[in-house]
Amino acid sequence: MHVVILAEFATASGGAEKVALESARGLAEAGLAVTYIQAIPGPVDPLLDHGNIRRIELGLPDIWTLGGLKAAATGIWHAAAARALEAALRGLPAPPDCLHLHQWTRTLSPAIFPVLTRLDVPVVVTLHDYALACPNGVYYRFDRAEPCGLTPLSPSCLAAPCDPRSRVHKLVRVARAGALRQALHRRPLHVVHVCDASRRRLGDLLGGYALTHHRVDNPVRVADGPPADPARGDAIAYVGRLTREKGADLVADAARSAGLTALFVGAGPLEAELRARPGVEVIGWQAPDAVWALLRSRARALAAPSRWYETGPLTVYEALAAGLPVVASDRSGAAEKVRDGRTGFVVPPEIGALAAAFSALRDDACAATLGANARAQVRAAPMTLATHAAALRSLYAGLVQRRTGAMHHAGAAARPDRPSAESA
């Protein structure tokens, strides 16, 4: 089987790219032929260094570097991206059996969807966020610091000043969402959800599309080394972009209330504000091995208190696998993997609830027990790269078989001298 994986970067600058890269590697190790198409030039992760992986770079610009009207127009409909992708696909030495898209908003734009569906092979899209339905991509009201409850592109949605940047930026995103609806109109698409909550929520929001829904967990990679010892930790850790929608400020306030250090690994808009607070350490971005060495030595628990409906934050699953308790927002897909009171705590993204969970973890026995339970839970049902690749391989095989069967059926129905599948 030959699978094309399409993403905008070939290095793990975010969760979507990380899953794309690890999927490519897992499928290659499982014996599939993989073509990884990278839209934007840049570093290449060593995960793509495998004999079964062929990499193609389209050489497209990151629209955030273009500025002004050119960036807006390119984000709405990037015709050059569509042409470059079509040329790359038609130049493959062997046609693909399946196309799997992970990211499209930084340069590919809605213009690529007609290209993908014209090849007449199954097209799969992993929904790492809500960009297929919501103009701002996260179904969140940045103006109110709360999840959105509006119907995408309804009059109420169009009037809402929900974009994190400006009303003008919201208009551009609305135009992109409108272009996306036109590009996907009546075109069959298979979507992969990475958590059950996403499937329920997006299933309602995407009712106007010709979609088939699937559910596949993200893969979890754990750095080599001994399990964590949370009872020895002195801090509540947060790993990721430092933003209000992800609840970074809540971690700082709740940890201080609980009498614990708040340890931040990452950077973002709240960095200066957090550095100025007492009881806070901001480490900045670190290599994965350095992150997990730090967490194993310092973390009493990992906090993921997202205010938005985050789908599948990888750090949560990695922390559980390493033996760290997790305090997760009840709005996040990560909450599905945290057993409240057994492997961590599931709480609303509020200072009081978080502080209570952090205070409970000050007890050494509680921290140690929850950490051991977390590690045992993941080991009993591992979300390994091989498990993830097996799930994808099964999905692709089913789609190819279904398509082949439909083609045979259509061919038989077109020839009256041969019985159809139903009559046979």
What pLDDT is recorded for position 155?
A: 96
For 6, the enclosing helix (H) or strand (E) is: strand 2-7
CATH number at residue 282: 3.40.50.2000
Same domain, 136 and 265: no
What pLDDT is recorded for position 408?
A: 52
Same domain, 197 and 53: yes
Q: Count how many domains the chain has.
A: 2
Give the Cα separation of 26 and 80 in Å (integer). 31
Give the Cα separation of 202 and 394 in Å (integer). 23
Residues 6+ apart with CB under 8 A from 267: 241, 242, 282, 284, 285
What pLDDT is recorded for position 424?
A: 25
Q: Is 68 left (phi over 0), alpha (psi -120 to 50) or beta?
A: left
Both tokens of 191, joined, read: 């979507």
Is there a domain that residue 404 lies in?
Answer: no
What pLDDT is recorded for position 288?
A: 85
What are residue 312's phi and psi, to 5 degrees? -145, 70
Same domain, 268 and 188: no
Amino acid at 58: L
Is there a domain that residue 406 lies in?
Answer: no
Same domain, 234 and 352: yes
pTM of the model: 0.91
What pLDDT is recorded for position 356?
A: 98
Give the Cα separation of 110 and 407 in Å (integer). 28
Which of these, 303, 295, 402, 310, lies nearest to 357 by C-alpha position?
A: 303
Same domain, 283 and 140: no
What pLDDT is recorded for position 422?
A: 29
Same domain, 91 and 193: yes
Same domain, 205 and 255: no
Residues 6+ apart with CB under 8 A from 101: 6, 7, 112, 116, 123, 124, 125, 126
Mean pLDDT by 10 residues, the chain (424 residues): 97 90 97 98 97 98 90 96 98 96 96 95 96 95 95 96 94 96 93 92 84 94 83 97 97 98 97 96 92 93 97 90 96 94 98 98 98 95 93 97 68 46 28
Both tokens of 87, joined, read: 């040329």
Is there a domain that residue 395 lies in?
Answer: no
Is there a domain that residue 387 lies in?
Answer: no
**Bridge partners for 322 per DSSP:** none
Domain boundary among 215, 238, 260: 215
What pLDDT is recorded for position 421?
A: 30
Same domain, 280 and 369: yes
Same domain, 108 and 42: yes
Please give the residue range of the domain that contains residue 207.
2-215
Domain boundary among 153, 187, 215: 215
Strands (E), 187-318: 189-193, 211-215, 235-239, 261-265, 280-282, 299-304
Give the Cα separation of 347 and 305 in Å (integer). 8
Q: Is 162 left (phi over 0), alpha (psi -120 to 50) or beta?
A: alpha
- Give the strands of the sheet with 33-38, arranged side by side: 53-57, 33-38, 2-7, 98-101, 123-127, 189-193, 211-215
Same domain, 263 and 307: yes
Same domain, 174 and 96: yes
Is there a domain that residue 397 lies in?
Answer: no
Is there a domain that residue 141 lies in?
Answer: yes
Same domain, 202 and 271: no
CATH number at residue 82: 3.40.50
Domain boundary among 192, 215, 238: 215
What pLDDT is recorded for position 419?
A: 32
Is there a domain that residue 48 lies in?
Answer: yes
Is there a domain that residue 293 lies in?
Answer: yes
Residues 6+ apart with CB under 8 A from 147: 139, 140, 141, 307, 308, 309, 331
